[in-house]
Amino acid sequence: MGDENEIIANQNKGEYYVPYYQIPIDKFFQFGLSVDCVVFGYQHGSLKVLLIKRGAEPFKGQWALPGDLVYPNEDIEVAARRILYDLTAIDNLYLEQTRVYGQVDRHPIGRVITIGYYALINIENYNPKASAWADSVFWIDVNKVPDLAFDHNQILSQALKTLRYRVRQRPVGFELLPEKFTLGHLQELYEALLNEPFDKANFRKKILSMNMLSNLKENQKDVPHRPARLYSFDKNRYDQLKSKGFSFEL
């Protein structure tokens, strides 16, 4: 948001009527718009989601997804990034729209349409931060999410479904890992995300055959077993392959 006090009016509306029902068009401009973000992180072998305790009415004090109203002159994705920045102090997170939630009675103070987004974050870079609308912020295991305000449980489960889907067909899993990781870490991540085991040998062959990881020629340290090779995701290489028709699939 630039000038958050300059709320634009919809200046031209006066001239218009909805001709077929003879209702002044202003009556149609009563909607509120919000954004709710499902922020996923991965730690200690399990998938977590960032929840807040709401610091404002309605539902003050309850668990909820981070979200906020969109300004009348603010782009939707910009609003989503504003919320994420306020919460994590990180820019440029991986962000994807899921769907719209528009039940007439979903918000107690009026008709508020909300747009669901999910974001992926490398939990090690995370900088916890309460904010204007959140008293406090917690990582919660995705399998232990409590009852949430509004229809946020539904938004969360849709986001999870989209993520599980996406992760099989685009290399987005890496967003959840540190820069350098082992193939074992990567496999554990996929197993946690998809809740299904993979054969080690086959998983490695598949991932490596895609040719989108850089072998860092560097090993793990201080592990009580044979140290594993470290890799990183090579985005340039991937973009190049993609432009040649290759498509990630798992």
92 binds, among a copy of itself, DNA, none (CB under 5 to 8 A by kind): none
| Between 151 and 188, CB nearer to DNA | 188
Task: Please tell me what DSSP assigns to residue 230.
Answer: E
Tell me if 245 contacts DNA by CB under 7 A. no
Q: Report the alpha-carbon distance of residue 51 to residue 134 in Å, rounded.
A: 9
Site for DNA in 1-60 (CB under 7 A): none
Tell me if 196 contacts a copy of itself by CB under 8 A. no
Q: Are strands 112-120 and 17-18 parallel, antiparallel or unpaired?
A: unpaired
Site for DNA in 145-184 (CB under 7 A): 182-184
108 binds, among DNA, a copy of itself, none (CB under 5 to 8 A by kind): a copy of itself
Site for DNA in 90-149 (CB under 7 A): none
Q: Which of 45, 61, 102, 227 binds a copy of itself (CB under 8 A)?
A: 102
75 binds, among a copy of itself, DNA, none (CB under 5 to 8 A by kind): a copy of itself
Q: Are strands 229-233 and 17-18 parallel, antiparallel or unpaired?
A: unpaired
- Range in contact with DNA (rule: CB under 7 A) among 69-77, 108-116, 122-130, 225-233: 225-233
Asked if residue 183 lies in contact with residue 204, where contact means CB atoms within 8 angstroms, the answer is yes
Tell me if 195 contacts a copy of itself by CB under 8 A. no
Task: Please tell me what DSSP assigns to residue 228.
Answer: P
Q: Report the alpha-carbon distance of residue 248 to residue 163 in Å, rounded.
A: 15
Q: Report the alpha-carbon distance of residue 242 to residue 146 in Å, rounded.
A: 40
Tell me if 231 contacts a copy of itself by CB under 8 A. no
Site for a copy of itself in 117-176 (CB under 8 A): 132-133
* Greatest C-alpha distance within the chain: 77
Long-range contacts of 70-75 (CB under 8 A, 24+ apart): 70/33, 70/34, 70/35, 71/1, 71/4, 71/7, 72/7, 72/8, 72/10, 73/6, 73/7, 73/8, 74/1
Residues that bind DNA (CB under 7 A): 182-184, 199-202, 204-206, 219, 222-229
Q: Which residues bind a copy of itself (CB under 8 A)?
A: 4-5, 7-13, 15-16, 18-21, 23, 25, 27-33, 56-58, 69-76, 97, 99-100, 102-104, 108-111, 113, 115, 132-133
